[in-house]
A = this chain, B = another copy of it.
């Protein structure tokens, strides 16, 4: 067993990096800002993908695939969109290398310069809406409800594994509708899907809201988001759903004949979540012993460790474990029986704790005689001895309990770190301590910008369910009719 993890309370950032590394989730690659997602990390991402994909399909969406490359002229077509993404994109300028005539190795072949540069997609509105022009002629062709799972490149200057990487994986839904109303409903429906996924799979409580104009997606008329709180009190935007109006239809000339036989531009939405959710998962639940995984996303939900000295003991233990393992699998639970004799059981305990396996069963010779088994929970780090009889059923219930408990814990943490603040002094003091601040804001971009400059806090969202409440802007004292969520954010 290597040295202990850094503690959250001492160095949150280092604690996060070390968990990512030691739980074998991911690592930085040789390419600046790009990560390698290792098998254990990827197995969690696959579980996220599967659950989300099922939810998308249940809401009528189909998957498709569009090109990695966006011609520069396409990016230029929607002005705000271009401004938002041009400054951090990977640009392909050539299509061939050749042998270096002046030395070893390869050089870019100057004769193979592209007529028009290609941008690696920083998001796919432009390339997709260019295709939609050919797909949409009549209201009968609508709605188009398409999603794609893809890799994305944004040349971020400061990167952080999973949270902000130059290349990341995501899904992006791109829908086209015949009416504004229908597009807004779709935008809200997908926000609901994201919130449902965050809460019921990641066990992550989120606030549903919409962004201030300054924080909107480049090219959107309205950006909805889900915001979650990490254990250091910072916010993490965990998913966004955009109502794009007719902006992209206009930029790419996508018109259709409506039921009244008139030509009209189509209405658009786009929505996405990314491997950033891996960062949210890690930072929201894990502890100083390592990763804590919600059972629904754990690649291994139950690990069984035999405690033995002799091969005979192991054989006797294995004979008892076999039906337990089968019973768990029959309930759809993923189980690993770790009888590897190259490692001691103490090492295994620490390893599976580090990797966040929700339930550990351990069985030694004495248990065998007593007909009992040790059951350890990763979330509470508690252990109890249970009869072997009925253990599969017990574990099934326990996994559900752990899933619920992890959520409840995160919700309690968020509630305890959410503050109604009415004065600027209090705001400045509180923001240093972290957490979400519910405060009045006068609604201007100018105030928002000044608050950000002075405190590094941003408006995370204007909650959908914020009650109307007359008040005064915490910064300017101007009137405001409801509180918004301020926080420092990832």
Contacts and interface: CB of A to CB of B under 8 A. Distances in A.
Interface of A: 27, 29-31, 34-39, 42-43, 45-46, 62-76, 82, 86-99, 104-106, 108, 117-120, 127, 130-131, 134, 140, 146, 150-151, 153, 155, 167, 169, 342
Given A42-B63, A68-B153, A89-B95, 17 more contacts: A27-B131, A27-B134, A29-B67, A31-B69, A34-B68, A34-B69, A36-B65, A43-B62, A46-B63, A69-B167, A76-B106, A82-B106, A86-B96, A88-B95, A89-B97, A92-B120, A93-B108
A41 to B, nearest CB: 8
A118 B31 CA distance: 9
Contacts of A151: 68, 150-151
B29 A127 contact: yes
A451 to B, nearest CB: 29
A130 B34 CA distance: 14
A106 B131 contact: no
Contacts of A42: 62-65
A369 B93 CA distance: 68
A86 B106 contact: yes
B30 A106 contact: no
A67 B167 contact: yes
Contacts of A38: 64
Given A76-B106, A86-B106, A140-B342, A29 B95 contact: no
A96 B89 contact: yes
Given A31-B69, A63-B46, A151-B151, A95 B106 contact: no
Contact of A127 (B30, B67, B90, B146): B30
Contacts of A140: 342
A36 B67 contact: yes
Nearest to A148: B42
Contacts of A130: 29-30
Contacts of A72: 97, 105-106
Contacts of A95: 88-91, 155
A251 to B, nearest CB: 13
**Nearest 5 pairs between A and B by C-beta?**
A39-B62, A34-B67, A86-B97, A37-B65, A95-B155
A279 B96 CA distance: 26
**Of residues A31, A73, A93, A153, which shows the largest number of chain B Cβ atoms within 10 Å of its Cβ?**
A31
Given A39-B146, A67-B167, A93 B96 contact: no
